[in-house]
Amino acid sequence: MDALQNILVLDAGNTRVKIGAFSNGELIASDSVANEDIHTLLDLYPGFKMVVSSVRSDTETQAILETLEATLIHASANLPFASKYKSPTLGMDRLCNTMYLHSRAKTRYAACIDLGTCIKFDLYDKEVGYLGGSISPGINLRYKSLHDHTGKLPLLSKTHPEQLIGNTTEQSIESGVIRGIQYELDGFVNQYESQFPGLTFFVTGGDAAHFDIHSKNDIFAVENLTLIGIYELYLFNI
């Protein structure tokens, strides 16, 4: 295993492709790239080994692999921890987030809160392994659902509601969606803390900056948590 090899990690999520460049075992750059610009990575990162983790369809994933001549990290990869998840459909993003917890968390219990297209909680126990978690719609999915499944509600994108009691339709939606997510996060954090003593939280995802997560335990914001998890999983499998 050569951890010093230049490696470009791609996290092909539901809405964008995030990239992380690793050299000498360290993350030296991170960014995101549009689907139509993926081929430019070959020129931007010459000599880098391309590694892909994807939650997209098989067809979309295969197109990325062929464009970059990349290696796919998949759900059947070898893991350094046990998994208590009973479904065979655990997403690669959640698996790689758990890999980060396994590699970097210092406490027995650690949880990742990933605020992106979906809101995901994933719990790891150093003595048992991956325990599972939860999935719910993120900001844009909630806005889109309200718009698509009603006759007159507008499609919004605001991330900071002006007030608790909305006195317009727009303000009412904003309060319900954004404050609803905040209360959801508060509730989950409180329940996790009550059941798992000394739990450490790690927060990531594109929408993480829009919410305040309060915990009596340690909590760390890690912007590139999933990318680091992909990298760690790749190293474990070579």
Distance CA 73, CA 70 (A): 10
Verify whether residue 93 is a known catalytic residue.
yes
Q: Which phi and psi (to 5°) does residue 92 adopt?
A: -65, -30
Considering the candidates 93, 114, 122, 125, report the single residue annotated as catalytic. 93
| Contact predicate 185/113, CB 8 Å | yes
Q: Are strands 49-54 and 71-72 parallel, antiparallel or unpaired?
A: parallel
Q: Could you give the residue numbers annotated as active site?
A: 93
